[in-house]
Amino acid sequence: MIDITKPFVIYATCTVEYEGRACSTLDEGNYIILYKKDKSLLIHSGDKSTPINYQPSGTLLHLDGQQILARRKSEMIKITMRQIIHYACLENWSINELKIRKTERELVNKIVNNMSDYIDREGVVTCEYPTELGKIDIMLEEKGGVKHIIEVKRCKATINHCVQLEKYYNAIGEPQSRLYIAAPSIANSALNYAKSKNIKYIEVLFD
């Protein structure tokens, strides 16, 4: 009945045992079992977005009566099914890429590739500029030594984002540094706060 050579979904009353990087057991219950084209195996409980147990790509299945043995390198999952409530073979399961847009990265790239549109100074541009307090999204260093610190947000900029920027300012420890918050929009309160702290707001929009 079950064809373990093809991707499938099973809804079954079962127990699950795992042995490998750790050991684990799962009490009997009704769980969803997914077997994918890339030979990854997922066992999903009735909550959480992560599987309650899984085996990565490259897992080989052996079916022995009501028992599924899933092996991969030195790892093993044993599923003992008391009752199969539901089984479906998944023909032509698609493998596609998710196209992600409107990320912070996209805005960072836009600024870096058109720096002169946003800051009228020349210098060395560094992304992910490291400091004790984490990475600065964009750093523009003039030859003269003046540093321009740009914090990029993909959504509306808030006061908290400005505070974060000031922390970087202190971490850098160079009073002549200049601060910028770049985002598609900025909250009114944040804009007032920014002005009072000499932080310049840069409007940067998604294409």
Partner DNA sequence: GTGTCAATGTCGATA
Partner DNA sequence: TATCGACGTTGACAC
Residues that bind DNA (CB under 7 A): 18, 20-22, 24, 40, 48-50, 53-57, 75, 77, 98, 100, 103-105, 128, 135, 160
Asked whether 200 and 179 are in contact (CB, 8 A), the reply is yes
Instruction: Quote the least distance from Cβ 111 to DNA, whole Å.
Output: 16
Q: Is 205 in the site for a copy of itself (CB under 8 A)?
A: no
Distance CA 79, CA 90 (A): 20
Q: Is 187 in the site for a copy of itself (CB under 8 A)?
A: no
- The one-letter amino acid code at 88 reads A
Distance of CA 47 to the CA centre of its chain: 20
Which residues lie closer than 8 Å to 22 by C-beta, 6 or more apart? none
Give the bridge partners for 136, in sequence order.
Answer: 129
Instruction: Quote the least distance from Cβ 146 to DNA, whole Å.
Output: 25
Q: Exactly one of 71, 72, 121, 154 binds a copy of itself (CB under 8 A); which one?
A: 154
Can you read off the two tokens belonging to residue 115? 């720096």
Q: Which does 95 bind (CB under 5 to 8 A by kind): a copy of itself, DNA, none?
A: a copy of itself
Q: List C-alpha distances in Å: 151 to 120, 131, 148, 196.
A: 17, 13, 10, 17
Instruction: Quote the least distance from Cβ 31 to a copy of itself, whole Å.
Output: 6
Instruction: Quote the least distance from Cβ 61 to DNA, whole Å.
Output: 15
Q: Which does 160 bind (CB under 5 to 8 A by kind): a copy of itself, DNA, none?
A: DNA
Burial (CB count within 10 angstroms: exposed 0-12, middle 13-18, buried 19+), residue 38: exposed
Distance CA 141, CA 137 (A): 13
Asked whether 156 and 127 are in contact (CB, 8 A), the reply is no
Asked whether 28 and 15 are in contact (CB, 8 A), the reply is yes
Q: Which does 75 bind (CB under 5 to 8 A by kind): a copy of itself, DNA, none?
A: DNA
Q: Which does 135 bind (CB under 5 to 8 A by kind): a copy of itself, DNA, none?
A: DNA
Question: Would you say 18 or 119 has its CB closer to DNA?
Answer: 18
Interacting positions 93-122 with a copy of itself (CB under 8 A): 93-96, 98-103
| Binding interface with a copy of itself (CB under 8 A) | 7, 9, 11, 22-27, 29-32, 34, 36-38, 40, 42, 44-49, 51-54, 56-57, 86, 88, 90-96, 98-103, 154
